[in-house]
Amino acid sequence: MPFCTTIKPPQAMALTVATLLIGCPALADELLMKDGSRLLGTVVKQDGGNTLDFDTTYAGTITVKWAEVDKVITDEAMTLLLVNGETREVISAQNKPEGVATVAPTGTPEILPLDTIAFVNPEPWRLGEGWHWEGKFSVELNHERGNSDKEEYEGDFSTTFRRIDDRINFRGDYDRETSNDVLTDDDWRLNSRYDHFIDKQFFYGLNVGLEHDRFADLSLRTIIGPVVGYEFFESKATNLGVTGGPMYVKEDFYEADNDDYTAFGWQFHYDRFLIPDRIQFYHRHNGLLSMEDTENFVLDAWTGFRFPIYAGIYAATELLIEYDGGAPADVDNADTTYNVKLGYEW
């Protein structure tokens, strides 16, 4: 005997909603890959490189090569920031030989050359909304007891505040070492710079630096002056920039005669992920060349590899070269240091 029951209208409505909730998956963005695979998740961003960050429920945020993506279909509109500063809101984007074929929420199609797209879902500051804050710091501690008692403390930090037309950077490092309760190393550096961008890459600003090195007889070196610079690349994948300008330098020594002079100062920085989110190469250096005595040349250079570990924690290996052509005659003018560091970045 067949079984049947009568469902009243309100009950039917509730049953229909429940069926939809159970039977239909939540809306998600889709990546259709050139190999035929299909990924569901949420488009996070493409930050000026050749990869796309895609958030999934089963593997977290994964990095996908944009060249391997055939088409992106989104639940909510993506924002494309173009190289010329214009933006586009799109709900799909497809790789084609002639460029990226996009469709706006209104259904309007447009083909954009790939090299005109700077960012996908850019951070708010890139659109002129507020400030972006990032930074990193690392420490190295060595505590040795036995035939000799040795303690070493090293640390460095950098932090940057960025908005569309302005950038403020602070950077510093500290090194102190004692052996059998005798101080054997004591030096530190602190540098700050303000940059105002005239366009996307060219800027001018002001640089202020302080340095101390007890065993190079340097009590305090003060550096201040205007700068101009050019930012060739500024993204998660690659950063490259150079800055230079005339500097006033004042040096106070413990034993030698104090000095002050005008110099040409410059700063160079470069970093690039060799393997996305796994291995990053970096190099930066600061230089000073006296306009009165070309033998008075100062260079500090850091070169190394950084290895992100988890949740902002990273390890690094680094070579530090310090050269001071104007050091007193009884002081070595060059130091080389190899460091292994553990740090955190945000």
- The Cα 271–Cα 164 span in angstroms is 21
Express each pLDDT in 143-157 by its tens digit. Answer: 777 666 778 889 999
How many helices, marked H, and strands, marked E, lie in the chain? 1, 21
Q: Which helix (H) or strand (E) holds 15?
A: helix 9-23
3-state secondary structure of 130: coil
pTM for the whole structure? 0.80
In tens, the pLDDT along 25-66 reads 445 899 999 999 999 999 998 887 788 899 998 888 888 988
Residues of the chain with CATH 2.40.160.40: 132-345
The CATH number, out of the four listed (2.170.16.10, 2.40.160.40, 3.40.47.10, 3.30.470.20), of the domain defined by the range 132-345: 2.40.160.40
Q: Where residue 23 falls among pLDDT bands split at 50, 70, 90?
A: very low
Residue 7 has pLDDT above 70, yes or no: no
Distance of CA 128 to CAs 57, 120, 165, 320, Å? 31, 15, 8, 37
Label residue 4 by pLDDT band (50, 70, 90).
very low
Distance from chain centroid for Cα 304: 15
* Residue 334 to residues 39, 221, 300, Cα–Cα distance (Å): 54, 17, 10
CB 192 within 8 A of CB 287: no
Most distant CA pair in the chain, distance: 111
Give dist(CA 306, CA 284) in Å, integer: 13
User: Residue 51: what pLDDT?
Assistant: 85
The values of phi and psi at residue 183, to 5°, are -70, 125
